[in-house]
């Protein structure tokens, strides 16, 4: 297969280093890059490739077959990192979504498999905690960084346009959220008095804000359903991201033809629904955190970010799902919410708007 110029450069960077990380935005083809690099190694390598989801593993197997890398290796093991090291010995280790590297199960594989070549791939090597340094200590530095704007200019990614929707009145749920959070906090501290009271207060407030302000927010849910119906009617290929299976199922009831996918859904059904979305037969796919990494639906052109949150890394991953180039797609359309019903949720919405602007997205905020 013919690689794009940035992919050729990334392959060359990998081949020049026994250890290192390539940073590739969602849609930049990191799986093909790593497989193509493996194909250029001397024949007879023992390859171990670990990833976070079964979908990512399937994509890896396809890429290894497409680049003929599978035929050049003496052994090929592609699997999820869950379960940790199980005795595999490898010459080459490829770590997809390597920002997970510091997790115990991932680190056990990286340290014990014996690979002299360790290559990591991710769109977001930096973490919100203090463990980013361990990612680099396990796999090496960033040796090639593919710029998202450059991919957009080259036509490999589409432009992004974000529209924020103001649904609720300012602080309309603040008292209810604070009351529920306070009650839960008091209950926890009675049961486990040694817990950090400040940290527990934050957690209780966050959980109450999520449940009341987002999941059980009838006005917001009705709006999201109506928006989804309107977009599907207009011929858009829609992805909705939610935080729980129950919330997704409730939303799907108001969107004709919508289907929910999540990690514990049977593999056959999950695969069928994702394939239907890829082909265009399914116009609205509702997904949990399964969509954070590895969900490849180039046709998808519109995202409704129902879940909220503030993680910059996850936001870049999630929005990247609708920015892959596809015939007839001029831009990726993202719909978000101002969430002024509570101060914590509103602050997170503002944080998301800052991330969008930093990524170079066009942002439309309600007047």
What is the number of alpha carbons within 13 Å of residue 284 lying toward its C-beta? Answer: 26
**Per-residue CA distances from 280 to 4, 236, 237, 334, 367 (Å):** 26, 10, 7, 19, 35
What is the CA angle 367-206-131, rounded to 5? 105
pLDDT of 127 reads: 67
Do 259 and 347 share a structural domain?
yes
Output the CA torsion sign for 126, 128, 129, 130: positive
Convert the pLDDT of each residue in 287-320 to its tens digit: 987 767 767 899 999 999 999 888 887 888 889 9
The CA-based diameter of the chain, rounded to the nearest angstrom, is 66
Q: How many CB atoms lie within 10 A of CB 167?
A: 17
Which element (helix H / strand E) includes 142?
A: strand 142-145
- Give the integer Cα–Cα distance in Å for 77 and 90: 9
Q: Give the mean model confidence (pLDDT) for residues 103-116.
A: 96
Do 229 and 212 share a structural domain?
no
Q: Using the predicted structure, report yes or no on whether residue 125 has a pLDDT greater than 90.
A: no
Q: Domain count of the chain?
A: 3
- Give the integer Cα–Cα distance in Å for 108 and 345: 37
pLDDT of 310 reads: 83
Closest listed residue to residue 118, CA positions, set 8, 24, 28, 38 = 38
Do 252 and 167 share a structural domain?
yes
Do 95 and 145 share a structural domain?
yes
Give the range of the structural domain holding residue 286, as residue numbers without chain letter.
159-172+218-364
Q: Using the predicted structure, report yes or no on whether residue 1 has a pLDDT greater than 80.
A: no
pLDDT of 124 reads: 82
Convert the pLDDT of each residue in 188-209 to its tens digit: 999 999 999 999 999 999 999 9
Do 74 and 164 share a structural domain?
no
pLDDT of 129 reads: 66
- Give the integer Cα–Cα distance in Å for 345 and 361: 21
Do 198 and 101 share a structural domain?
no
- Give the integer Cα–Cα distance in Å for 206 and 197: 14
Do 117 and 24 share a structural domain?
yes
The alpha-helical segments, DSSP class H, found in 67-173 are: 69-72, 104-112, 132-139, 148-153
- Indicate the average pLDDT of the chain: 93
pLDDT of 294 reads: 66
Q: Which residues pair with 120 in a beta bridge?
A: 21, 95
Closest listed residue to residue 317, CA positions, set 279, 344, 351, 291 = 291
Do 299 and 165 share a structural domain?
yes
What is the number of alpha carbons within 13 Å of residue 339 lying toward its C-beta? Answer: 31
Q: Give the mean model confidence (pLDDT) for residues 160-180.
A: 97
- Give the integer Cα–Cα distance in Å for 357 and 136: 27
Do 245 and 116 share a structural domain?
no
Q: Using the predicted structure, report yes or no on whether residue 177 has a pLDDT greater than 80.
A: yes
Do 123 and 21 share a structural domain?
yes
Do 149 and 185 share a structural domain?
no
**Per-residue CA distances from 13 to 76, 147, 196 (Å):** 22, 15, 46
pLDDT of 166 reads: 97
Do 305 and 212 share a structural domain?
no
pLDDT of 238 reads: 97
Q: Residue 149 belongs to a domain with what CATH number?
A: 3.40.50.300
**Per-residue CA distances from 251 to 54, 229, 241, 255 (Å):** 25, 11, 11, 7
């Amino acid at each position: 297969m013919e690689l794009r110029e940035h992919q050729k450069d990334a392959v060359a960077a990998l081949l020049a280093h026994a250890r290192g990380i390539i940073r590739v935005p969602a849609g930049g083809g990191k799986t093909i890059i790593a497989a193509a690099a493996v194909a250029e190694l001397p024949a007879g390598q023992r390859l171990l490739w670990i990833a976070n989801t079964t979908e990512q593993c399937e994509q890896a197997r396809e890429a290894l077959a497409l680049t003929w890398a599978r035929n050049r290796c003496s052994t090929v093991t592609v699997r999820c990192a869950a379960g940790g090291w199980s005795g595999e010995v490898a010459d080459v280790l490829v770590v997809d979504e390597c920002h997970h590297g510091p997790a115990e199960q991932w680190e056990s594989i990286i340290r014990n498999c014996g690979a002299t070549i360790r290559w990591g791939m991710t769109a977001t090597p930096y973490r919100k905690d203090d463990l980013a340094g361990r990612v680099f200590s396990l796999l090496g530095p960033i040796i090639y960084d593919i710029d998202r704007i450059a991919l957009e200019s080259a036509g490999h990614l589409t432009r992004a346009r974000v529209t924020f929707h103001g649904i609720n009145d300012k602080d309309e749920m603040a008292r209810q959220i604070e009351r529920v959070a306070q009650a839960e906090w008091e209950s926890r501290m009675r049961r486990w008095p040694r817990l950090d009271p400040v940290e527990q207060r934050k957690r209780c407030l966050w959980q109450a804000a999520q449940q009341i302000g987002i999941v059980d927010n009838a006005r917001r849910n009705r709006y999201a359903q109506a928006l989804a119906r309107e977009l599907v009617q207009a011929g858009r290929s829609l992805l909705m991201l939610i935080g729980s299976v129950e919330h997704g199922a409730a939303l799907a009831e108001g969107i004709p033809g919508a289907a929910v996918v999540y990690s514990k859904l049977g593999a056959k059904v999950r695969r069928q629904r994702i394939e239907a979305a890829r082909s265009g037969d399914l116009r609205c796919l509702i997904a949990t955190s399964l969509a954070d990494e590895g969900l490849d639906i180039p046709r998808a052109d519109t995202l409704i970010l129902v879940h909220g949150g503030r993680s910059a890394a996850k936001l870049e991953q999630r929005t990247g799902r609708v920015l892959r180039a596809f015939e007839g797609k001029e831009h990726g359309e993202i719909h978000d919410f101002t969430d002024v019903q509570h101060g914590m949720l509103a602050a997170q919405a503002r944080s998301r708007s800052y991330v969008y602007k930093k990524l170079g997205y066009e942002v439309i905020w309600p007047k």
